[in-house]
Structure 1
Amino acid sequence: MATQSAQEGACDPPPRPEQPGKPGGYIAKLRELVKHEAEKNKSQWKTMGPAKVAVPSPNDFLQKRSKEPKIAPKKKERDSKKLLPPVPPRTYHPVIRIKKNFINKNAVAVIKGEPKKPRHFCVDTRQGDKYLLEPSGLFPKYIKKKNYGVIPKYVTRRNEEMKREAEEYQASVLEQLKMKAMKTLSEEERTNILKALKKNWEEINNAYQRLPILADTMYKRMHKEELELKLKQLEHDIAAIEKHKRVYIANV
């Protein structure tokens, strides 16, 4: 047994070394007082209200109309002599205020006034959303103006200036045409010219008749052709003057 106990003692673990103790924590100075107060007021909520309650007196019962506001007592009426105003002086002019019947005045204004015109709206959705037409620019309000369709002053002034310029241009053109217009021969001048043409034709015809029959040289042939041309031109001019009674001559 001794051996067995020796073996068991050999198997036990060695004792742990003792650790040094920790230093003590903070201890409040009023710790004991707090404990005492906590034990004193413990389970205070178990009672129904404070221990002592003031009991109302039976004479202080709620009376009728006691909570309604009380009106201040009326002042004593003064004497009628004291309420009269003093006598006004001679220079006093009272202000006369004419009472106007505004009800009748407003009624007459409504009866004689024009009714309000309906405002124009435009509904653009199926839910009924609408907006005014006048500020949107879709309402033709300019055609209702007093000066709508009236020609502006600057347009009339410009038209008058253009018309005056056209008249001046037309007058200048007519004047130039008159200056360049053909002159009409009088009857006396026409007869004198016709006589002169016939006289020239007779002279040239006499010269033509005196030509030799045989034109064997170039000069004779040219002279004969020249006389024939002059005779033809004179005959043409004489026939034209005799045919037309009015003859015009251009101013060169």
Structure 2
Amino acid sequence: MSGFIYPPESVYNLLPREEVVTQKPPRYMSKFRSTVILENKSTKDTTRTMGPAKAEVPSPDKYLKKHSKESKQPEKARSFKEAHSCTARKPPVPARTDQPLMGLQTKRDFIKTATAVPMRPRPTCVDTSKGHKQPLENSGLLPKYIKKKDYGEVPEYLQHRNEDEKRAQEELRNFVKEQREQGAMKQLSEEERLNILEGLRKNLNVLHHDYQCLSLVIETMTKKAHKERLEAKMKQLENDISLVERFKTIYIPKK
């Protein structure tokens, strides 16, 4: 009871007080209440009858039969075995005096079929262990391309290309011949070609020696640029050496 706090004592608390009565608002009533009641009564009154309901009585001729209300399954079609079983009635055997039917024709001529040459099986190729097969013509194993009329012949576009190359070489040869006759170009001798080749190799060795003397760590831009210049010069010398070694005949313009 330590937590309970009594109200402070006052003289005014001893005076009687008038009880305040709160007035509730009137209850809500819908304006459609009476209409709903009438509609509900009208629907109920329609099902009220005096005695048994007036319904159509079935005719005595249409009486309920046995299993008439059970669901029936659709009839199954007769199978080939049932249709051709021994229970089916066959037509009677014709009498001895009956005349045979003349002029009957069948869709298939059995005499020609028996005397015809049997059809050869189509060549196939089995490409899997499970027996999958395909026509041999589509498998790529049949050498059908060698039977073409133009097999082994050079295509036309290659012939045109070879003719263009020959024509370009002939024009270059004629141009070099004209320049040499005019004295504008001279042919290097074999000794001069070997001397030029030896000089290029010496220059390449010198540059390669300088390249090997570079430091392992390139930390400045100057060293990096010097290394790139050496690599570019060695690459150019290698190209020149391969060019001189490949061509035995070299023409240079006269000064």
TM-score over 0.5 (shorter chain): no
In terms of fraction of residues, the more helix-rich structure is 1
TM-score where L is the length of structure 1: 0.29
TM-score between the two structures when normalised by the length of structure 2: 0.29
